[in-house]
Amino acid sequence: MFSSTLRSALFLSLAFVWSACAFAQQDGPRNFPIPPDVATRAVDIWSEGTRMSATVFTRNDAGSGKLPTILMAHGWGGTAAALTRDAVGFAQAGYLVVSFDYRGWGKSDSRVILTQPAPDAAAKNKGRFTAEVREVREVVDPVDMLTDWQNALHWLQGEPRVDTARIGIWGSSQSGGYVAEMATRDHRIKVVYSQVGAFSGHGLGTTPEAYVDATKRARGEIGYPEPGIRVLGNLRGAPIYSRFANYAPVDHINDAGQIPMMIVVAENEELFDNRQHGILAYERYKGPKQLVVVPKIKHYGIYMEAWQQAHTLAREWFDKYLKS
């Protein structure tokens, strides 16, 4: 057993790893220009009653028929604006692309919570009442974020130009794990691309410190973090550690069945052990798969010197399973 001091050190170390991993999601051009051959459209996706902001990308000459589709979202601490470069590239290759912001992030609305107890039934008008609320914003919660992925996938089913038989999902860093988890839950997904993904949160969610925090929150002694704070270094957003306890797609990766999955890892990954994340997920998965180790880069290199290589890998992987 670890001593309490060692457990605390491990907790802080893991928190730093995940926060650094998440910080990478903020890299990339936020004001990437939309070229004249690509059309964009702002849309709303509703997740558990809260509006999420999303953008649809298509090529201008794509016609009016149904298109193979790619769904994208960032990981920890980023917004959909940072995905524009990839979304544009996929649209130019003939895809309908949807990128979205999670609830409480970017241009999306936030969940709200009451600051005081609700009035009794007699004071309500068909369930309606006036109250002071506060928003839950810039909180990192894999349970909620995966719910947002699920609702974005539901939204695609009703979009007239989406070919629902040809939907792929793209994720990076923390969302590189999310897309694997989504494949285990929903087989309407036809292909997965995951890069520099973190595939388990057990180390964050099961520490004594995480349980103490969860106990205090359940007893009303602490609330959700205030928007805009930076709990871990310069990382925007605050994690709810206990919500990572049951998040580990690496442990049940084969629930994805036969969904093709490409897993891209950085050879010199410094933020976590590839052998316990991407490589382990690849080794365990029995469906169609491909592992690519990008040489000579660290985690952030996937957004910088290796961006073109990674983008090409993703496009060719999607082409193989969504266009053939």
- pLDDT higher for 226 or 313? 313
pLDDT at position 236: 75
Residues paired with 57 in a beta bridge: 40, 97
pLDDT band, residue 233 (cuts 50/70/90) = low
The C-alpha atoms of residue 54 and residue 238 are separated, in whole angstroms, by 23
pLDDT band, residue 175 (cuts 50/70/90) = very high
pLDDT at position 213: 94
Rounded-to-10 torsion of CA 219, 220, 226, 231? -30
Per-residue pLDDT for 280 more than 60? yes
pLDDT band, residue 122 (cuts 50/70/90) = low
- pLDDT higher for 223 or 124? 223
CATH of the domain at 307: 3.40.50.1820
Q: Which of 65, 73, 88, 82 is nearest to 166 (CA)?
A: 65
Kindly report the pTM of this predicted structure: 0.90
Least confident span in 8-12, 34-38, 115-119, 151-155: 8-12
The mean pLDDT value for 218-242 works out to: 81
The mean pLDDT value for 86-94 works out to: 98
The C-alpha atoms of residue 27 and residue 16 are separated, in whole angstroms, by 17
Residue at 269: amino acid letter: E
pLDDT digits (tens, 9 = 90+) for 176-219: 999 999 999 999 999 999 999 999 998 889 999 999 999 999 99
pLDDT at position 271: 84
The mean pLDDT value for 78-89 works out to: 95
The C-alpha atoms of residue 322 and residue 190 are separated, in whole angstroms, by 8
Q: Which of 318, 308, 273, 238 is nearest to 17 (CA)?
A: 273
pLDDT at position 232: 61
Per-residue pLDDT for 55 more than 50? yes
pLDDT band, residue 18 (cuts 50/70/90) = very low
pLDDT at position 124: 77
The mean pLDDT value for 262-274 works out to: 95
DSSP 8-state assignment for residue 102 = P
CB 192 within 8 A of CB 179: yes
Q: Which of 144, 19, 45 is nearest to 99 (CA)?
A: 45
pLDDT at position 33: 92
pLDDT at position 204: 87
Tokens 């993904």 — which residue? 197
Q: Which of 277, 288, 97, 267 is nearest to 203 (CA)?
A: 277
Where in the sequence is the domain holding 148, given as residue range(s)? Answer: 4-322
Structural domains in the chain (count): 1
Rounded-to-10 torsion of CA 99, 275, 281, 202? -80
